[in-house]
Amino acid sequence: MEHLNYKHTARARATGEKKQALVGVVASGNLEVLVERVLPGNECEIEIRTAAEGFGEVWKEVVADFVGRRSPGGLKFSINDGGARPDTVALRLAQAARALEGDGT
Amino acid sequence: MSAASAATRIDDALAQSWYEASARQRVDALLDRGSFVEFIGPERRETSPHLPLFDLPEQFDDGMIVGRGRIDGASILIAAQEGRFMGGAFGEVHGAKLTGLLRAARELRTPVVIAFDTGGVRLQEANAGEMAIAEIMRALLEARLAAVNVIGLVGGRAGCYGGGGLIAACCSALAVSEQGRISVSGPEVIETNRGVEEFDSKDRALVWRTMGGKHRRLIGGAEIFVDDTVASFRAAAIALLAGAVTLTRATLLAEQARLEARLDAFGDCADALDIWRRLGIADAASVPAMSYGEFDALGARIVEVIHDAR
């Protein structure tokens, strides 16, 4: 099991009021993302636990791309990974950020 | 979002397949909108203490979601298994969450709905998982003895196998869809132990007609046969929660008598098709292909399914 941790400073604080959201499931080729609005200012942290070791560079790029696109300031993402591909990871991160914004109803 | 588009989205959500839905989507769809309050949620990170020993990934809720909410206005406790994480299997934490919920149900005199989706006990924590099954069965029966209804819903990917099948059998009532399978030993376990001549696990038609929802309904193993939508499961849960709550010595004697009579009637049958013919279904071979509506009408005519022993 590999533990990875990335810290970024986002352009802006994430919008919405929800405190936390969970998307995905820990299954082969899939992952779960727990996102919590717990960090001050524009800080953003992504913590990853993955069974697929040796892909730190790919995670780093996917995470940096996500932070650049979504500006998830104030959010902590905790990931349990079941060997998801980078596109699935990007999708789940975006889904988690969207879930935290709330559905507006 | 406008009220009209919000209403459309809720309709879409209720038409969603139960089989395809995640455990969290099932909980949301079963309960009145916005009423769910989770106990020991994923933010608590109460994960399995055993999986890291095997270098296996954990899930923040350990594949079991428990909490309270309202269904059609009535307060209930609810549990749902995530069948895609470790096959929905029972481990120490996964099981303890359901045990605690059932003990709370007895204290609070609040009915319980369990959305099963499990292959049984998690092999990596087998001893803890087996103990959890025993504790859950005890807590479930103690809740029922205190006149608390415990309803099981079966229609997920993993079916309801192993210890999950035992727990389901302890419930006050069950609703099952065609995709739901209820048994103790699964197809591959039977084949491994008794040989392919006894049970060919690759014969999907055989698996479905032996363990699937239609067969369980026809032999009285489930009270309601439902279509594979979250709306159907919600309606079935509401109907079963309204049912009579009884667990007494007389109930158990009636159940024993029912099972003995079933064995006498069908004990020599080699296949579910033989049982269905003996139940009076002339064209038994047509049962697996029947639509929900056709089968529901057939099920209503079969005497075997009408009982309230349990």
User: Is B60:A78 a contact under the CB 8 Å cutoff?
Assistant: yes
pTM: 0.94
The pLDDT of residue B309 is above 80: no
Give the whole-number percent of chain B exceeding pLDDT 90: 86
Domain definitions of chain B by residue range:
16-182+221-247
Which residues of chain B does A20 touch, with a Cβ-Cβ cutoff of 8 Å?
41-43
**Domain of A79?**
2-101
Name the closest residue on chain B to residue A2, using Cα atoms: B55
How many distinct structural domains can be found in chain A? 1
**Residue B161 identity:** Y
Is A25 within 8 Å of B85 when comparing Cβ atoms? yes
pLDDT 10s digits, A16-54:
889 999 999 999 999 999 999 999 999 999 999 998 999
Q: What is the ipTM of this complex?
A: 0.93
Is A78 within 8 Å of B82 when comparing Cβ atoms? no
Which residues of chain B does A98 touch, with a Cβ-Cβ cutoff of 8 Å?
none
Residue A63 DSSP one-character state: H
Give the whole-number percent of chain B exceeding pLDDT 70: 94
Which residues does A contribute to its contact with B (CB < 8 Å)? 1, 20, 22, 25-27, 30, 32, 34, 36, 49-51, 78, 80-82, 103-105
Mean pLDDT across the stretch B64-73? 98
pLDDT 10s digits, B45-62:
999 999 999 999 999 999
Per-residue confidence (pLDDT) for residue B246, from 0 to 100? 79
Mean pLDDT across the stretch B18-35? 96
pLDDT 10s digits, B278-303:
999 989 999 999 999 999 888 878 86
pLDDT 10s digits, B123-173:
999 999 999 999 999 999 999 999 999 999 999 999 999 999 999 999 999
Which residues of chain A does B57 touch, with a Cβ-Cβ cutoff of 8 Å?
1, 26, 49-51, 80-82
Give the whole-number percent of chain A exceeding pLDDT 90: 90
Which residues of chain A does B58 touch, with a Cβ-Cβ cutoff of 8 Å?
26, 49, 80
Shortest Cα distance, chain A CAs vs residue B63, angstroms: 9
Mean pLDDT across the stretch B90-110? 98
Shortest Cα distance, chain B CAs vs residue A24, angstroms: 9
Q: Any idea which residue has 């810290």 for tokens?
A: A7
Q: Which of A27, A50, A103 is facing B84, going by the closest CB pair?
A: A27
CA–CA gap between residue A57 and residue B85 (Å, rounded) = 27
* Residue from A81, A78, A90, A89 nearest A28 by CA: A81
**CB neighbours (10 Å) of residue B95?**
27
Band the pLDDT of B15: cuts 50, 70, 90. Answer: confident
B57 touches chain A (CB under 8 A): yes
Per-residue confidence (pLDDT) for residue A104, from 0 to 100? 47
CA–CA gap between residue B6 and residue B261 (Å, rounded) = 51
Which residues of chain A does B43 touch, with a Cβ-Cβ cutoff of 8 Å?
20, 34, 36
Q: Which of B22, B60, B82 is facing A80, going by the closest CB pair?
A: B60
pLDDT 10s digits, B181-238:
999 999 999 999 999 999 999 999 999 999 999 999 998 889 999 999 999 999 999 9
DSSP letter string, B201-240: TT-HHHHHHHHBHHHHHHTTS-SEEE-SSHHHHHHHHHHH
- In B108-137, the residues whose Cβ lies within 8 Å of chain A are none
* Residue from A5, A35, A16 nearest B60 by CA: A35
Please provide the CATH number assigned to the domain covering B16-182+221-247.
Answer: 3.90.226.10
Q: What is the mean pLDDT of chain B?
A: 92
Name the closest residue on chain B to residue A1, using Cα atoms: B55
DSSP letter string, chain B: --HHHHHHHHHHHHHS-TTTS-HHHHHHHHSPTT--EEES-GGG----SSGGGGT----TTTTEEEEEEEETTEEEEEEEE-TTSGGG-B-HHHHHHHHHHHHHHHHHT--EEEEE-B-SB-GGGHHHHHHHHHHHHHHHHHHHHTT--EEEEE-STT-B-THHHHHHHHSSEEEEETT-BB-SS-HHHHHHHH-TTT--TT-HHHHHHHHBHHHHHHTTS-SEEE-SSHHHHHHHHHHHHTS----SHHHHHHHHHHHHHHHHHHTT-SSHHHHHHHTT-TTGGGTTT--HHHHHHHHHH-GGG-----
Q: Which of A22, A30, A49 is facing B42, going by the closest CB pair?
A: A22
